[in-house]
Amino acid sequence: MKNKNKSNQRYFLLVVFALYLSLLVFNQKLFFSASSTFLDLLLKIIPAFVLVFILITISNYFITPERVTKFSTKKGILKWLLMVLAGVLSVGPLFVWYPLLAKLKNHGLNPGLVATYIYSKAIVISFFPLLIFYFSLKYIIVLYCVLAIASIIQGILINILIK
């Protein structure tokens, strides 16, 4: 399956390259217009990609199972905020984290904190540049704050319903 996917990726790249090449040959004005638009877009989103790369690197270094377990021992709202932050900064698909979350839950991690972590994974930092491009920074900040608050509310509701 992986070889087929790589083959499709190469095929797509070749098709795009062929389209640009044909534009260069047959319609240079459109080629330069498309190239200019692409470069403008690239220059706008490169800083955001660099920021995302730095944040992902930092999160891979600091977000460990031991630290996540420590979050649950904090008092008050701090533990909820730390779980939101852990969910946001954790990298990779959610299903990879299920075994770890189950293990942490079995070792005493609050079910509401697990729910908060899972819900806060919806705040995907790697989408940040694209979302800013299509929407606005103000919109994304409001959206992400609402998602963070909703993840805490969901965690609290899970605790209430499980008891």
- C-alpha dihedral sign at 105, 111, 114, 115: positive
Q: Which amino acid is at 62?
A: F
Cβ contacts of residue 24 below 8 Å, gap of 6+? 31
User: pLDDT value at position 47?
Assistant: 82
pTM for the model: 0.60
User: pLDDT value at position 64?
Assistant: 67
Please check whether residue 113 is in contact with residue 83, taking contact to mean a CB–CB distance below 8 angstroms. Answer: yes
SS3 of 90, please? coil
Determine the Cα–Cα distance for residues 72 and 93; give it in Å rounded to an integer: 22
User: pLDDT value at position 163?
Assistant: 80
User: pLDDT value at position 9?
Assistant: 84
For the chain, which residues make up each domain, given as ranges?
1-45, 63-162
Query: How do the pLDDT tens digits run along the chain, 163 residues long?
Result: 556 677 788 899 899 889 888 988 999 998 898 889 989 988 888 887 787 778 767 766 776 666 766 766 777 888 888 889 888 877 777 777 788 788 778 877 889 998 998 999 888 887 888 888 889 889 999 999 999 999 999 999 999 998 8
User: pLDDT value at position 127?
Assistant: 83
